[in-house]
Amino acid sequence: MSPREKALSDEEVTQWLAQNLPHWRLENGWIRRTYKTSGWKSTLMIINTVGHLAEAAWHHPDITASYAWVEVRLITHTAKGVTEKDFALAKKIEEVIHWQPGKEGGPLEGTPSGDQRFAYIKYD
């Protein structure tokens, strides 16, 4: 087992999440995050985005979804716990899902606000 697959203690996981991904939590041995969306279309977009990132990383989460939310759960099964691999994928998921190009000041304007037809994720 490589060092990146060494299961971390609950204390190490909780501390790392508090410092780096405060919207993620440790629960029942998994790190978890629930994203609230504006409806089914954006829920599916979140699922597909997480799926793409997970496949590219070759590290696959469990996903549960409903009309206006998606829960992502990560654990390294071979290590029987949370590892650095889980942190790395969670961080990339968070970065991509919460990207708001309209706030960067560049040529990409982001989704229109105030018009429900274009509603996407409910940003934290």
Domain that includes residue 45, residue range: 3-99
Structure tokens of 46?
A: 């979140």
Q: Is 80 left (phi over 0), alpha (psi -120 to 50) or beta?
A: left
Domain contains 120: no
pLDDT-derived band at 102, boundaries 50, 70, 90:
confident
For residue 38, what pLDDT is reported? 92
- Mean pLDDT over each residue of the chain, to the nearest integer: 93
pLDDT over threshold 80, residue 4: no
Could you tell me if 60 and 70 are in contact, meaning their C-beta atoms sit under 8 angstroms apart? Answer: no
Q: Strand order of the sheet with strand 62-66?
A: 25-27, 30-36, 69-74, 62-66
15: domain CATH number is 3.30.1360.20
Model-wide pTM > 0.85: yes
What are 11-35's pLDDT values in tens digits? Answer: 999 999 999 999 999 999 999 999 9
Query: Domain for residue 114, yes or no?
Result: no
Cα 110 to Cα 106: distance, rounded to the nearest angstrom? 10
Output the CA–CA distances (angstroms, integers) from residue 31 to 13, 24, 38, 42, 104, in the order listed: 8, 6, 24, 22, 29
**pLDDT at residue 39 tops 90:** yes
Is residue 110 included in any domain, yes or no?
Answer: no
pLDDT of residue 12: 98
Please write the tens of the pLDDT for every residue from 81-95: 999 999 999 999 999
Q: Establish if 16 belongs to a structural domain.
A: yes
